[in-house]
């Protein structure tokens, strides 16, 4: 039997109501329901005007089934996920971050892109900010410029060549800022392909940078373009609901 417990400043009235209905532990919902609907006058006397006003708009189908506890979720069952949705403070949806996560994007790509968007990669400029004193040099370009996130993934020699190899298929423009470019990159009808392709490019560039840095060897632009296509095809082949692999990825 469900006990109606209204958590309000009128707690004294609730305790008095429970005392008068000690057999059932408190007034049941059916105590406030008549053949014509809610007995608002009785409910008003028990819990006050504010609670009665909220009750007025509630529809109820009265049956002979015993009352049961129902959680305010679509399925009516209590789950930790539903409780978390009630308690959490949600932030506005970010169009940039919503493109990072997806069923057809490998988790390792999503995590890497999240770290890129939050500037949480151990690039030379980031290490210098936390008092690591080192000589910075980008291994992915001939000049060996100062390594930072923008240069490594967007303005460096290898990054420019790899992105340029795919921009023509989507008619994408280049921008001076990497984050702005990513936002424009994903705003298209082919966003499902662009999301996977961006993840593949960032993943391949990062792995190549680490090979240069820690193994002393890396790959050229032609190999990286082929590797991006291979990774891109592999990610799409595991997704049934996406369109077929585009012809340019099969070359």
Give the per-residue pLDDT at 7.
Answer: 35
Could you tell me the pTM of the whole model?
0.65
Q: Domain containing 37: what range?
A: 11-87
Residue 39 domain flag: yes
Cβ atoms of residues 198 and 235 within 8 Å: no
Say whether both 99 and 190 belong to one domain. yes
Number of independent structural domains in the chain:
2
Residue 112 domain flag: yes
Name 33's bridge partners: 38
Give the per-residue pLDDT at 242.
Answer: 62
Say whether both 139 and 241 belong to one domain. yes
Give the per-residue pLDDT at 22.
Answer: 39
Say whether both 146 and 45 belong to one domain. no
Which of 65, 87, 109 terminates a domain? The answer is 87
Say whether both 141 and 235 belong to one domain. yes
Which of 87, 111, 135 terminates a domain? The answer is 87
Say whether both 80 and 15 belong to one domain. yes
Give the per-residue pLDDT at 205.
Answer: 96
Give the per-residue pLDDT at 8.
Answer: 38
Helix-strand-coil percent breakdown of the chain, rounded to 5? 55, 0, 45
DSSP codes of every residue in 227-247? HHHHHHHHHHHT-SSSPPPPG
Say whether both 242 and 182 belong to one domain. yes
Give the per-residue pLDDT at 152.
Answer: 92
Give the per-residue pLDDT at 46.
Answer: 76
* Tokens standing for residue 103: 């069923």
Give the per-residue pLDDT at 25.
Answer: 53
Helix (H) or strand (E) holding 181: helix 178-186
Give the per-residue pLDDT at 74.
Answer: 73
Say whether both 68 and 101 belong to one domain. no
Name 34's bridge partners: 37
Which of 32, 56, 87 terminates a domain? The answer is 87
Give the per-residue pLDDT at 204.
Answer: 97
Say whether both 125 and 240 belong to one domain. yes
Say whether both 241 and 151 belong to one domain. yes
Give the per-residue pLDDT at 229.
Answer: 93
Average pLDDT of each block of 10 consecutive residues along the chain (251 residues)? 40 45 57 73 77 71 72 76 80 76 87 93 90 84 84 92 86 82 76 85 96 90 94 84 72 71
- Tell me whether strands 33-34 and 37-38 are parallel, antiparallel or unpaired: antiparallel
Say whether both 74 and 105 belong to one domain. no
Say whether both 222 and 171 belong to one domain. yes
């Amino acid at each position: 039997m469900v006990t109606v417990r209204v958590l309000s400043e009128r707690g004294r009235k609730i305790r008095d109501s429970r005392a008068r209905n000690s057999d059932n532990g408190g007034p049941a919902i059916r105590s406030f329901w008549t053949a014509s609907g809610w007995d608002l006058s009785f409910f008003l006397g028990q819990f006050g005007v504010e609670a009665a006003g909220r009750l007025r708009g509630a529809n109820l189908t009265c049956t002979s089934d015993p009352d049961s506890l129902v959680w305010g979720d679509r399925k009516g069952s209590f789950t930790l996920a539903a409780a978390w949705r009630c308690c959490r403070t949600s932030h506005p949806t970010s169009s940039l971050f919503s493109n990072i996560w997806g069923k057809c994007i490998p988790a390792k790509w999503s995590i890497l892109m999240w770290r890129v968007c939050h500037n949480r990669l151990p690039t030379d400029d980031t290490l210098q900010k936390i008092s690591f004193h080192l000589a910075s040099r980008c291994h992915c370009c001939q000049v060996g410029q100062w390594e930072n996130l923008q240069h490594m993934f967007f303005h460096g020699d290898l990054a420019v060549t790899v992105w340029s190899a795919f921009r023509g298929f989507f008619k994408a423009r280049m921008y001076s800022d990497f984050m702005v470019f990513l936002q424009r990159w994903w705003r298209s009808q082919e966003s499902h392909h662009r999301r996977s392709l961006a993840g593949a490019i960032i993943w391949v560039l990062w792995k190549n940078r680490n090979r240069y840095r820690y193994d002393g060897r890396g790959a050229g632009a032609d190999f990286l373009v082929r590797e991006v296509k291979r990774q891109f095809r592999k990610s799409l082949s595991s997704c049934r609901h996406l369109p077929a692999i585009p012809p340019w990825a099969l070359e």
